[in-house]
Structures are given as structure tokens and as C-alpha cells.
Amino acid sequence: MGNKKMKSKKNIDGNAFLLLITIVLFFAMYIIGVIAFHQQGFGKTQNFLNLFISNAGLIVIAAGMTVVMITGGIDISVGSVVALTCMMLAWMMENKGMGAIPAAVIVLVMGLVFGFVQGWLVAYLKLQPFIVTLAGMFFARGMTAIISQDMISIKNEMFLSWAKYKIYLPFGGYVNRKGVMIYPYIYPSVIIALLVLVVVFIMLKYTKFGRSIYAVGGNEQSALLMGLNVRKTKLKAYILAGFLTGLGGFLFCLNTCSGFVEQAKGFEMDAIASAVIGGTLLTGGVGNVFGSLFGVLIKGTIEAFITFQGTLSSWWTKITIAALLCFFIILQSIFASAKAKKKK
Amino acid sequence: MEKLKKITSYRLFLPLLCLAIVLMINIITTPTFFQISVKNGVLYGYIIDVINRASELVILAVGMTLVVSSSAGTDISVGAVMAVAGAVCCFVLAGGQQAVNAYSNPYILGFLAALVVGVICGCFNGFLVAKMKIQPMVATLILFTAGRGIAQLVTKGQITYIRVDSFKLLGANIPGLPLPTPIFIAIAVVIITVIILKKTALGMYIQSVGINSRASRLVGLKSTMIIFLTYAFCGLCAGIAGMIATSRIYSADANNIGLNMELDAILAVALGGNSLGGGKFSLMGSVIGAYTIQALTTTLYAMSVSADQIPVYKAIVVIVIVALQSPEFAKIRKKIAGKFHSEKAESKKEVA
Amino acid sequence: MEQDIVLTMRNIDKNFPGVKALQNVDFTLRRGEIHALMGENGAGKSTLIKVLTGVEEFETGEIKIEGIDHPIINKSPQEAQIHGISTVYQEVNLCPNLSVAENLFIGREPKKGGMIDWRTMNKKSKALLEGLDIHIDVTAALENYSLALQQMIAIARAVDMSAKVLILDEPTSSLDDGEVEKLFHLMNRLKEQGVGIIFVTHFLEQVYAVCDRITVLRNGTLVGEYKIEDLPRVQLVAKMMGKDFDDLAAIKKEGASSVKDEVIIDARQLGHKGTIKPFDLKINKGEVIGLTGLLGSGRSELARSIYGADKPDSGELYVKGSKFHANTPLDAMMQGMAYLPEDRKAEGIIADLSVRENIIIALQAKRGMFKLLSKKEQEEFTDKYIDLLQIKTADRETPIKQLSGGNQQKVILGRWLLTNPDFLILDEPTRGIDIGTKTEIQKLVLQLADEGMSVMFISSEIEEMLRTCSRMAVLRDGSKVGELKEEELSQDSIMKAIAGGAN
């Protein structure tokens, strides 16, 4: 029996191993960046914090994506929904003269409703999640264009004050040439994003709903036989993801302060890739929001590389992310087939 | 009643009905819809325009139909692959320059390069789906986003112009012919595909694998190979479509070539009465579906809906079609019908 | 109710359209006993279980359970569980990605302040499993453990939720001997705790190793309930098959034997891990060899390993004297093999394709993609087999799914005959088919052998095998245990061979 115990420890397992690769990859990349771009100041604390600042929205959306993917589904509408969110915020505040708070509440509700409709189609009509969210993706993008085909910049004072409110950290500072102590800072969006991560993490680990999500993704048939409500669980997962996409879109908008049709194109890829790179299985049942955080950070680091390097076009980010996604998907596939073989 | 049932159960009933409805709306909104005029031996008119513009979609729908049939999934990278193919073609013909007035390399070389690139992209998708057993839409999502990035790299983020008259022929009119070239190419692709499917056993193999892959294996079919082939073919179709689209604007515009085409192609297959769950397919259904969608697009344009707003309506149509196809929907309908009947019976009782 | 009886089912009737699945069946389970429920295909075992667990409704009769003084009717497995009846199936119905503890407690997790209390859950799980002599790390994911352990965890969950009646539906089918041993240990442990266990299995050895009592069903009726010591194995087989042990009237085949000396198939220690243990088998030209054994004894698996449907992982196969290595079924087809699978719906028919396409597809696959059979050839072949096998179909273009089961089977048979094989494997070709068609198929098999084809015939019906086979290989519990030559073939000898063991 002692032998058996050893075996199970050793087996923890393909999935954890994948996550480990991700974490190591991130730190390796970051260290390479610090060495290669030493002169330009890659190693500054602020540069590290910028990873969080520029990706706060993505962190939130990737968390929602992780939840949906654990149930065995997927949501490729998120990029378009972010565009729609930004456009609605900009339009409501600039063209309709609405206040920042009601506008924010409306987009959050919009995300929730969007998630509900998609979730209902997936859970109750049993349509393929991919087809449903593909249609959702085109629907949201089209709606953005219907609201306005021109770019709207946000000038609402309250909104801009949210966007520019710096929170200085009491440590990690340095003294600049003029002899002034400069402390690194973050925006409120970073705190919101990290808060969301913690809440979703607790929800997944310590609530009945959270565990049902894993059970449904692990084996739907079994979950049903064990007395769980599979449909309701899926619906709730999509609603949660929809809400988080709305919230993520809001945070995204705090960075860009504008709304336009082409915004956040390919964002779904960033979110899916972050989740997959962070150890979420495409087949469902396995995943962790903190893993997805590392996925996001890797994407941010690649972006930072390209900015610091200066001559490479931004398209390289997309291609590298796609290549990484491809690499991790293939790894997952190989692990899965190896596991199946071992079973036999 | 029997007769009606017979008509509605005819395979092409749904696509033809949709086409008829769209055409009717067209006639109402645009009374001149079917008018054709002749100028310099070339035919002009709304309807000609629709058929011409639908060409790329028809070609994509052909490839998509086979992919759906064999793998019960869709290839969402076709639009991006069109852009890559166009970009590579222009890159070859312009010799890496940004705009040329004469070919740097023979035309045929650029043309072949585009097709080869299309096939390579298809093979990449096919490898992931057939060999690595990854869900088709996730596998093709990779090229869906990365494809345009690759196209941008090839064109160095700019639009490559080929200002040579012969380059425009593929997307415009060949002198002496009464109809635009893309129409002929689309028809040629359909005919060649039909011939391949009818003259080899491929058509039967694809359907067989899509319907029951375990039984297919036991009768000696290699499903991996067959699924791979359909993706490679779909890539080829995207390459051809990309060439036409590039020729139309005699330039490689990595951002806009094939934009939103993947949704149209999937919609064409579904409208053609094909189940997105794979199995039996009707190529003609998809072709009719493609023309229907182009007619719909034209109608929406006529109602002054802009190009980037159109997907809203198409997305709704897609959901409605797949929802109608779903077994769950049939169950719900039956339940409602049952309730209705029992209510009817009850009310009768009350009357009595 | 007697003091120690936990469950009684009386006069249970259940009809499916056209079939009387259960007629007047009684069943009694006592506290602390392991009770085998036995019967061949269509006997009504699984229907009885389904009725008991609320998966299916029954028409008449009553079910009583200890502690409830009125008859109960379960409408769902959940309701059955509330009444104290739990089921564990062959397929483990747990979530592989969750930890052992979670699988034990999902849906009823212990909570503290609204949050799941993992520590208590793990502690309780450990205690629960240790009480059953299972010592494992409960925090590891379920998928890290062997199927047997998963099976035991499923049982632990079932027993912990409701401990009166435990139904084990073929739990041992995918376990090896050592694992079965552990499972038995667990069953005996539960027995001591007073749980009544209904054990459904195909393995005779296991019945005699662990059970106290046997109830035998046949064709939806009760044959009888026996104490294990009162029913020797051969008697049990006889009761299951519906033949009296003393009835020796065998039906001899007429005419001279068609068996030639030439060896077509020669398997040497061929095997496939987990389904069939290594076996030797020689098959001559023109021979009809039968594979006999109870359901799940490895009959189909033996055939599949020869055909390459499950790629063998040990031993060698010689076809017509030369070594043959099958990578895919196509390779076997090219060697002149053909295989009619047992599960017609899942592996035989290609439902949406027409009768014509279903018939020609195997020949087409053999010819290759580019050498398409002409329309005319296809139609000729199809018509020939529709005619020869008297397939009842509206048209050759009718989708095969619209045909009756028997006619579908004939189409599949036609598919393989068209490839003109030297060696034809028929796995349960007559199951679920009307009597007339059965006889036709049997005659056809003999005729084909006469013409020089070798046939491997697998069937659960002994009479059918006696009529067609010139030799039989006997399988038990996943291995080939012997052969019966033509002169040894009789119901008596076959049943004895199937039953095996000391008596």
C-alpha cells in the first residue's frame, strides 16, 4: 500500500507538470528580458507592475474563460463583447450624457445578459458552445458598429479620474537623477482584477457551485448520476463568465478611454491562450485561475519584449501567442493519449 | 397534406425556400433586381453582381461542407487563410516591393504560391484535428487569429499593390466573355469537386467517416487520412478564394481580405440543409446557401446596413438554424405540442 | 416479512413494445448475503435491476424494502437511493478529475461557514475507506488509481449514502484477478456489516467464489432461486441456457465434412492485454469453427484480435502460412478476412447511407479510393445480394437505418460476402433476428463452408452452433480453455466445457 501512495504522488501529474512549465517559462522569459533590455530598464519594478496595469481587463476575462473551459465549454465572443462594452460606455457617456456610474452598471448587466443567452443556448438547447459563441462574437461586433462606426473618445471627467488614479506603493522605489524618490504605482483596475482572481479562486475551491463546475467538466454523465444539476451549473458558469467579460471590458476601457469597432480584435485568442497556457484543459475538468494569471503574464511579457525591442511589428505578439497556444494544445493532447494508453 | 410533407422532406427544400424568400424581398426593395443590361458585350445588373460577389463564398462553402461532414466541426480559419494566400501571392509577384506596375516574377508562380500556402494552412489544421484529435474549432482558432498576423508580416503591415492589368482579370472580366471571371471559377470549382466526389469513392468515404467512424474503420477506411484530406482541400479552396478576392482589389490587404467570411461559409453550409453534426451532405445545398447569403448581404446593403453591421443579422440566422436543427428543440416542441393537444382535449371536455 | 429479509420483489411484470421483458418475476434478498443474479442475453437481468432502481417503470407487482411497511415504487435512481438501494455499474460513474474524497462527498460536502470544509471531508473520507480496508491518499485525483480502486471507491460512496441494498452490475468486467480478489474482500466486509448485495456477473468462477445464493432468469421469467451448494456449475449453465442437462439429443450435421487440410489461420500465443489472454488457434480451409462461452468470456475479443480490430499486443499470427501483422482492419481485409461485428448499430451499419452504399463500401475500401466501382457494378452487386439474401427493402437507395434489424444484418453480411473472403468472422450474426432469417443465415454458413470458405461463428445459442460448427473453441473468463472436436460436440459436453471447474 505504501508503494501505491508513492505512485499517486509521482503521478501528480501531467496537469500540474504543464502548469509548472508555464511558471518556469514566465520567469525564464522575464529574466531574459531583464538581461537583454537591461539598459532600457526592463528590470524596474514599475515595468513588472505594468504587466498587470495593461492586462487588468484580460486577467478578469481569462478568469471567466477558465471557468467556462473547466465545464468543457469555450467562449470566443469575449473580444467582441469587450469592444461592445467600450463602445457602449463611450456612447452612453459622450453621446447620451450619462454619468459614469450608471454607464458602468449598464455594461456590467449587459455582460451578464449576454452570458445568460449564450449559456442558455449551450446548456438547455445543447448547441455546440463554439457555434453559439462564434455567433455571439459576430453579433457583438456588429452591434458595436450599429452603435457607432466612428471612434468615440471618452472625456467624462469622473471616468477619466478613475482611469488616472494612481496608487503608489510604499516600496520598490528608486531615486532619479534629480534626487527625487520615485515610487512605483498601480491603478485601481489592478486591485479589482486581483480581487476578482481571489474571489473566483475561492468560489471554485470552496463552494458547491465551484466543485460542480469541475464535476461537470470531468464527466457530465457521472455528475448527473451523482445528483448534480448539470444544466444549471453550465448556465451559471456562462453567466459568471459573461459578467466577468463585462467587468473586464470596463477595465480594458479604463486603459483605452475610447470605443471603436475594431477594438480588442483577437482578444478571445489572448484569453483562451492564457487559460490553456495556464494549465486549463480544453477537454474540461482541469484548470486554475492563478494558472491563467501566469498565462496572461506570459502574453504581457511577450508584448513588453516587442515594445522594448522596438523594430518588430506588433503582429509578432499575436503570432507568438498562437504558436504558444498550439504548442500547449499539442502537449495536452500528447499527455492525454499517454494517460489513455497507461490506463489500458 | 401528404404531398406537402413530401415536398418539405426534399433535401434541397430548405435552401431553395430561403433563396426564394430572399429574392422576393429583393424584388420588393429593388424593383430593378432582375434587370440585366448589355454594355460592350458584357452583362450588367443587380443579379449578375450578386452571383459575381458570391463566388468566393461558394468556393469556401464547398470546402467547408466536406470539413463539416467528415469531422462534425467547422474550419473557422478560412477567412484568415484567404488573406495569407493573397499576401503571399502579391509578395511573390511584387518581389517584396510595396507596389509594382510590372510583375517581378511570372504570374503563374504567384498563383501557385497562393494555392500551395492555402494547402499548407489546410494541412496544418488537418494535422491538429485528424492526428492530434483536437476539437476542430480550437485547432482552426489558431490560424483564425495568427493568420492575419502572418499576412501582415508578409506584406510588412502595408497594402501591396499589383498594378498590372492581367492581374485584375481573375477578379474582373476577361475581354470577350459576357460574365465576370469569378463566376466561372466558382462554377469550375464546384464541378471539379463534384467530379472528384462522384468519380472516386471519396464522397462516400467522407460521409461514412462522419456518420460512424467505428464502423468505417472496420470496413477498412482510414478516418485520420480522410479527415486530414478534407481540411487540406478546404485550405485549397480558401487559397483560390483568396486569389479572387486579391485580384478584385489588385492588392493584398491583410486586414480586410476574407473578413467575416468564416461565418458566411458556416452559414452557407447550415442553410444548405446540412447538419453541423456531420455525416451526410449536399454540396448543391451549400452552393445554393452561399448564393442566398450573398443575396441577403446585397439586400442588407440596399437597406443601407453597413458591412460591419451585417454580422448582427447573420449571427441571429445562424443561431436560429442550429437551434431548429437541435434534437433538444424537437423535444421541447413535442412537449409544447403535447400540452396543446391535451389542453384542446380538456377544453372539448369542458364544452361537452 | 421474515426478520432477515431486506428486499422482496413479487410478481413483477414489465413489457416493452412487442416483448414481455419480465413476467411474474420474484426476487428475495436477505441481510448480509451476496446474491448472484444470472441469465444469458435477454433473460431480463438488467430490466429487473432497472425496475428496482427506478430507471424503468414496471406494470404490475410490488417491491418491499425493510423498514418501510408499504410497497415502494422508485421513479428515479435518486429515489431508490433514498429508499436504501444503490447501484454501482461496470463503468465507474465518478469524476476522474476530482479527488477521492470529493468523489465520496460531492453533492453532500461538509461545510463550515458556508464554505466547503476540506479538512473534515478528507478526514471523513479516510475514516470511511479505512473502515473498508482501503488505505489510500484521499486527496489525490481519482484518475491516479486503478480501475479496481475506483470501483471500490464507487462502492464506498454508494454504501455510505444508503446501506441496505447494494447492486453491483458487472463490476469485475474490466478487472484483473488480483483486483477482483480485493473487490471480493470488500464485498465480504460489507456482508459482515449486514448489507444485502445483488451481484450481476458473467463469470461463473466469481459466482462460486463469493456468492451465497443464485437467482436464475431466462427469457423474462424466473427459473428459480438456489443455494450455492445446491447448484453445481453444469446445472447452472443448463438452467441459464434452458436445456435440461440430461437431454442429450444433439442435432448432427448431415453430409460429409467440407474441412480441407490447408491451414488458413494460425494464431500462436496471440493476445490483447485486458481483453483476451494469449491463445493458440488453427483454422483450416472450409471449416466452420465455433467460439463458445458465456457472454463476456472473451469470444468477441478473440475474433477481434485476429482481425486487427483490437491490435494484438503479444504473439504472432500466420495467415495462409505467412506471417501477418495487422495494423488496421484494412490489412486484414487484404488478407481475405471479413468481420461482422457483434454490435450492429455501433460498429456495423452506417446509418444514413443507403443499402447500396452499405453493401459495396468494404469492397470499395479494398479496391482503393480511386478505383470507384461503376454505378452499374454497384447496382448489380447490390441487387445480387438483395436477391440472394432476400433483403426486404423498398429500394436499394433506402437508408439502411429504415430497415428492420434482421435485414440490416443481411446487408452487413452481403457487404462481407461481396469481398469474397477466405475467412469470415460472424459475431452473433443472429442476435435479435426472427427465426426464419436465423435459419437462412445458418444454411448460408454451411453452404459457404462447402464452397471452401472458413467461417468463425460466435453465438450464444448452443443449438445453432451445433447445427453449423465442425469444431468449437471454448472460452472462459477471458481465455481459451479448450477445444471440442466434431465427434465430441453435444449440448452436454459444451455446457460442461463452458462451466469448467471441478464439478
Q: pLDDT tens digits for C357-415?
A: 999 999 999 998 888 999 999 999 999 999 988 888 888 999 998 888 888 999 999 99
Record: contact B311-A138, CB cut-off 8 A? yes
Type of residue found at C195: V
Is the per-residue pLDDT at C193 higher than 50?
Answer: yes
- Rounded to whole angstroms, the Cα distance separating B118 from B59 reads 13
Are A259 and A151 in contact by the 8 Å Cβ rule? The answer is: yes
Is the per-residue pLDDT at C18 higher than 90?
Answer: no
- Rounded to whole angstroms, the Cα distance separating A282 from A333 reads 9
Query: Is the same domain home to C416 and C431?
Result: no
Record: contact B219-C362, CB cut-off 8 A? yes
Is the per-residue pLDDT at C138 higher than 90?
Answer: yes
Residues of B in contact with C309 (CB under 8 A): 217-218
Record: contact C372-B205, CB cut-off 8 A? no
Closest in A12, A215, A225 to C98, CB measured: A215
**Mean pLDDT throughout A52-61?**
96
pLDDT band at A8 (very low <50, low <70, confident <90, very high): very low
DSSP β-bridge partners for residue C216: C38, C224
Record: contact A13-C141, CB cut-off 8 A? yes
Residues of A in contact with C115 (CB under 8 A): 202, 206-207
Residues of B in contact with A125 (CB under 8 A): 323, 326, 328-329
Q: Is B277 an interface residue toward C (CB < 8 Å)?
A: no
Q: What is the mean pLDDT of chain A?
A: 90
Please report the DSSP string for B243-287 in residue order: HHHHHHTTEE-TTTTTTTHHHHHHHHHHHTT--TT-S---HHHHH
Which region holds residue B304: left if phi is over 0, alpha if psi is between -120 and 50, else beta? left
Are C401 and C351 in contact by the 8 Å Cβ rule? The answer is: yes
Residue C332 pLDDT:
93
Residue B346 pLDDT:
56
Q: pLDDT tens digits for A321-338?
A: 899 999 999 988 888 888
Residue A339 pLDDT:
77
Is the per-residue pLDDT at C67 higher than 90?
Answer: no
Residue A334 pLDDT:
87
Is the per-residue pLDDT at A10 higher than 50?
Answer: no
Residue found under cell 478546404: B234
pLDDT band at A6 (very low <50, low <70, confident <90, very high): very low
Are B139 and B74 in contact by the 8 Å Cβ rule? The answer is: no
Residue found under cell 486503478: C146
Q: Which residues constitute the domain of residue C377?
A: 352-420
- Rounded to whole angstroms, the Cα distance separating C282 from C192 reads 48
**Mean pLDDT throughout B348-352?**
49
Report if residue C341 sits inside a domain.
no
Is the per-residue pLDDT at C349 higher than 80?
Answer: yes
Record: contact A13-C96, CB cut-off 8 A? no
CATH code where residue C166 lies: 3.40.50.300
Are A49 and A187 in contact by the 8 Å Cβ rule? The answer is: no
Identify which has the larger pLDDT, C424 or B328.
C424
Residues of A in contact with C102 (CB under 8 A): 211
Q: CA A210, A215, A221, A223 torsion: positive or negative?
A: negative
Query: Is the same domain home to C34 and C89?
Result: yes
Query: Is the same domain home to C376 and C440?
Result: no
Domains in chain C, number = 3
Q: pLDDT tens digits for B82-111?
A: 999 999 999 999 988 888 999 999 999 999
- Rounded to whole angstroms, the Cα distance separating B221 from B290 reads 31
Percentage of chain C beyond pLDDT 90 is 41
Percentage of chain A beyond pLDDT 90 is 71
In this structure, how many other beta carbons lie within 10 angstroms of the beta carbon of residue A50? 18
**Mean pLDDT throughout A40-59?**
91
Query: Residue A248: which residues within 8 A CB-CB, separation 6 or more?
Result: A57, A58, A59, A60, A61, A64, A78, A82
Query: Is the same domain home to C287 and C431?
Result: yes
Pairs from B184-187 (Cβ < 8 Å, separation ≥ 24) = B185/B55, B185/B59, B185/B240, B185/B244, B186/B54, B186/B55, B186/B56, B186/B58, B186/B59
Inter-helix orientation angle B283-302/B55-71, to 10°:
130
Are B220 and C365 in contact by the 8 Å Cβ rule? The answer is: yes
Residue A133 pLDDT:
95
Report if residue C319 sits inside a domain.
yes
Residue found under cell 471603436: A260
Residue A162 pLDDT:
93
Residue A57 pLDDT:
96
Residue B5 pLDDT:
62
pLDDT band at B114 (very low <50, low <70, confident <90, very high): very high
Q: pLDDT tens digits for C255-297?
A: 556 677 889 999 999 998 878 899 999 999 999 999 988 777 8
Query: Is the same domain home to C321 and C448?
Result: yes
For residue C160, the distance in angstroms to the closest alpha carbon of chain A comes to: 13
DSSP β-bridge partners for residue C166: C86, C197
Record: contact C144-A208, CB cut-off 8 A? no
Is the per-residue pLDDT at B177 higher than 90?
Answer: no
In this structure, how many other beta carbons lie within 10 angstroms of the beta carbon of residue B110? 22
Give which of B121, B153, B312, B316 to mutate to test A binding, by max A Cβ within 10 Å. B312
Report if residue C43 sits inside a domain.
yes
Give which of C305, C327, C349, C350 to mutate to test B binding, by max B Cβ within 10 Å. C350
Report if residue C73 sits inside a domain.
yes
Report if residue C103 sits inside a domain.
no
Q: pLDDT tens digits for C90-134?
A: 777 899 999 999 999 988 889 998 899 999 999 999 999 998 888
DSSP helix/strand/coil, C33: coil
Residue A11 pLDDT:
44
For residue B63, the distance in angstroms to the closest alpha carbon of chain C comes to: 19
Cα-based torsion angle of the residue sequence C368, C371, C376, C379 in order, rounded to the nearest 10 degrees: 10
Q: CA A303, A306, A309, A310 torsion: positive or negative?
A: negative
Q: CA C29, C35, C39, C44 torsion: positive or negative?
A: positive
Residue found under cell 501529474: A13
Query: Is the same domain home to C368 and C301?
Result: no
ipTM of predicted complex = 0.86
Pairing of strands C115-116, C111-112: antiparallel
Which cell is C390 given? 432476400
Q: Could you say which DSSP state residue C374 is in?
A: P
Record: contact A214-C98, CB cut-off 8 A? yes
Closest in B211, B221, B279 to C365, CB measured: B221
Residue C244 pLDDT:
54
> Between A and C, how many residue pairs show a Cβ–Cβ distance under 8 A?
80
Q: What is the mean pLDDT of chain C?
A: 86
Record: contact A12-C145, CB cut-off 8 A? no
- Cα–Cα distances in Å, from B134 out to A330, B128, B141? 8, 6, 11
Identify which has the larger pLDDT, B350 or B233.
B233
Record: contact C144-A8, CB cut-off 8 A? yes
Q: pLDDT tens digits for C405-450?
A: 888 999 999 999 999 999 999 998 887 676 677 778 888 898 899 8
Record: contact A319-B149, CB cut-off 8 A? yes
Residue B82 pLDDT:
97
Q: pLDDT tens digits for A222-239?
A: 888 888 899 999 999 999
Query: Is the same domain home to C264 and C376?
Result: no
Are C484 and C245 in contact by the 8 Å Cβ rule? The answer is: no
Residue C502 pLDDT:
45
Locate all alpha helices (DSSP H) within C399-490, ordered by sequence.
405-418, 435-450, 462-468
Which cell is B29 given? 426593395
- Helix, strand, coil fractions of chain C, as percent rounded to 5: 35, 25, 35
Polymer length of chain A = 344
| Predicted structure pTM score | 0.86
| Exposed e or buried b per residue across A153-188, where buried means at least 16 C-beta atoms within 10 angstroms of its C-beta | ebebeebeebbeeeeeeeeebeeeeeeeeeebbbbe
Query: Is the same domain home to C216 and C302?
Result: no
Asked which of C379, C400, C420 is the last residue of a domain, the reply is C420
Is the per-residue pLDDT at C84 higher than 80?
Answer: yes
Residues of C in contact with B222 (CB under 8 A): 328, 330
Q: Is C93 an interface residue toward A (CB < 8 Å)?
A: yes
Identify which has the larger pLDDT, C278 or B344.
C278
In this complex, the chains that touch C, judged by 3 or more CB pairs closer than 8 A, are A, B
Residue A194 pLDDT:
96
